[in-house]
């Protein structure tokens, strides 16, 4: 089940407890994990709400919120795996290509110096190496930057969605304990 399926089930569910029982103890994606963490804490504490004062209930809601924030942070960290690699490739590959370019041009100058000849036949191999190194650097960097930006944007959207979802859960739980 993906986030959209879970959201549909969440909004169409009669109660949070029924939905929680249908999920079980193994959430399969970030939104379920956030829901599961809130419900686990809620179920553990809800038996004594009737006899508790307002401050206890308010403190409980703050703790549920903290619990969900921790789970959101863990889920986002888990989803961010590999982004550093893409960022590193995107930012260093052009410089590696530039290093290859400089190396190829140095080889051309060395060939000119050794042969005492400035003909195209002497210069062309080094220039070809330089252009090839530049192209390789760009071939690595461009897709890495594109995918990094796309994945980073997706993660930002997921993070925002999880934050909103956690607030919705908190509102529902608050209504439940303050009635």
For residue range 81-115, what is the model confidence (pLDDT) as tens digits?
989 999 999 999 999 999 989 988 888 888 888 88
Domain range spanning residue 22? 1-36
Mean pLDDT (the chain, rounded): 86
In a domain, 45, yes or no: no
Same domain, 125 and 175: yes
Give a yes or no: residue 44 inside a domain. no
Question: Looking at residue 51, what is its pLDDT?
Answer: 63
Spatial contact of 32 and 59, defined as CB atoms under 8 Å apart:
no
Same domain, 91 and 168: yes
- Cα four-point dihedral sign 33, 38, 44, 46: negative
Q: Specify whether 77 is located in the same domain as 27.
A: no
Q: How far apart are CA 63 and CA 177, in angstroms?
A: 14
Q: Which residues are CB-neighbours of 129 under 8 A, at least 6 positions away?
A: 100, 103, 104, 107
Cβ 86 vs Cβ 144: under 8 Å = yes
What is the percent of the chain with per-residue pLDDT over 70, rounded to a whole number? 93
Residues 23 and 104 in one domain: no
- Structure-derived torsion over alpha carbons of residues 40, 42, 43, 46, reported in degrees to the nearest 10: 160
Torsion sign, CA atoms 3, 14, 68, 38:
negative
Residue 123 and residue 156 in one domain: yes
pLDDT score at 159: 94
Contact 108, 130 (CB under 8 A): yes
Angle between helices 30-45 and 16-23 (to 10 degrees): 120
Residue 49, pLDDT score: 61
The reply to whether 105 and 166 lie within a common domain is yes
If asked whether residues 16 and 63 sit together in one domain, one would say: no
Instruction: Classify residue 43: in a domain, yes or no.
Output: no
Among residues of the chain, what percentage have pLDDT more than 90?
A: 39
How is residue 119 annotated by DSSP? -
Domain match, 63 and 148 both: yes
Is 98 in the same domain as 135? yes
Domain count, the chain: 2
Q: Is the pLDDT of residue 7 over 60?
A: yes
Q: Is the pTM of this model over 0.85?
A: no
């Amino acid at each position: 089940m993906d986030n959209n399926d879970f959201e549909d089930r969440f909004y169409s569910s009669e109660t949070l407890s029924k939905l929680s029982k249908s999920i079980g103890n193994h959430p399969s994606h970030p939104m379920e994990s956030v829901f599961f963490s809130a419900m686990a804490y809620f179920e553990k504490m809800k038996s004594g709400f009737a006899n508790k004062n307002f401050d206890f209930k308010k403190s409980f809601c703050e703790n549920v919120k903290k619990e969900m924030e921790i789970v959101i942070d863990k889920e986002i960290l888990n989803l961010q795996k590999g982004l550093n690699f893409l960022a590193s490739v995107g930012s260093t590959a052009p410089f590696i290509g530039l290093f290859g370019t400089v190396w190829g041009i140095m080889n051309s100058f060395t060939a000119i110096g050794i042969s005492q000849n400035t003909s195209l036949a002497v210069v062309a191999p080094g220039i070809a190496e330089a252009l090839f190194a530049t192209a390789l650097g760009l071939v690595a960097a461009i897709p890495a930057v594109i995918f990094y930006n796309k994945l980073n944007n997706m993660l930002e959207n997921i993070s925002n969605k999880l934050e909103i979802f956690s607030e919705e859960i908190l509102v529902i739980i608050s209504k439940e304990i303050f009635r």
